[in-house]
Amino acid sequence: MQLLVSPSSISEAQCSIAADIIDVKKPSEGSLGANFPWVIQEIKSFAKKPVSAAIGDFPYKPGGASLAAYGAACAGADYIKIGLAFPGKDHAREVIEAVIKAVKDEFPKKFVVIAGYSDYERMGSISPFDISPLVADCGADFVMIDTGIKDGRSTFSFMDEATLARFTAENKNLGIGTALAGSLKFEDIDALKRIDPEIIGVRGMVCGGDRNATIREDLVKTALAMIR
């Protein structure tokens, strides 16, 4: 299980360098808010490890999603991550296919991460369980669960350990990876280790509990030690 930490700035990325994956995003623009391409480029220049970039919580806009994905890949991101903030399997397939083509045609070794939301019912968006078969069929690499509405409630508030374990196991059977995020706390780590996704994504956990605070290097190292 790898630790992905989501800094919002270059200085925060420097405090996150112990993490397995540095995930560049802009929390003020949403759960998967996109940061600037020059921030991705700068972090990639010194991180010396995989860099992920969120491109947004997208409505049904396959053209916009594909262009944003291409931009993140060109800026240096190794993992390109998009949230599907809309309903409908057919629309989801169209966006997933567009993002994959935008990234993989030119950068076949980069990873595409398709995110759904644990609170999809209140978001009015597609269920992560419906995303997984599309991800496998279309050729993306990971399916992710995050919380769409950041009100302090975690993924475990909407999906219990058994549900997340089933989700992870089904993804393994489909040949795709699982990433779990969404206001995760230190006390969730034991359950996450039992669920055993490939990646867990955190921000608030390593900001002292407030995602709008600043990432602390000591808490990144604590989280990393706990998952090992």
Residue ranges of domains in the chain: 2-227
Report how far residue 98's alpha carbon sits from residue 146's, in angstroms, rounded to the nearest whole number: 21
Active site residue 25: yes
Which pLDDT does position 212 carry in this prediction?
83
Report how far residue 113's alpha carbon sits from residue 25's, in angstroms, rounded to the nearest whole number: 14
Q: What are residue 31's phi and psi, to 5 degrees?
A: -55, -45
- pLDDT (mean) for 116-120: 98
In this model, does residue 210 exceed pLDDT 90? no
Which pLDDT does position 175 carry in this prediction?
98
Alpha helical stretches, state H, 9-127: 10-15, 37-47, 62-75, 89-104, 120-123
Read off the tokens for 50. Answer: 């995989």
Read off the tokens for 78. Answer: 């190794």
Asked if 202 contacts 181 with a C-beta cutoff of 8 angstroms, the reply is yes
Closest to 179 (Cα-Cα) out of 122, 219, 140: 140
In this model, does residue 209 exceed pLDDT 90? no
Which pLDDT does position 187 carry in this prediction?
96
- pLDDT (mean) for 64-81: 98
Catalytic residue among 44, 81, 104, 110: 81
Taking only the tens place, the pLDDT of each residue in 145-188 is: 999 999 989 999 999 999 999 999 999 999 999 999 999 999 99
**Beta strand ranges found along the chain (DSSP E):** 2-5, 21-24, 51-58, 79-84, 111-117, 142-146, 177-180, 199-202
Asked if 180 contacts 201 with a C-beta cutoff of 8 angstroms, the reply is yes
The CATH class that applies to domain 2-227 reads alpha beta
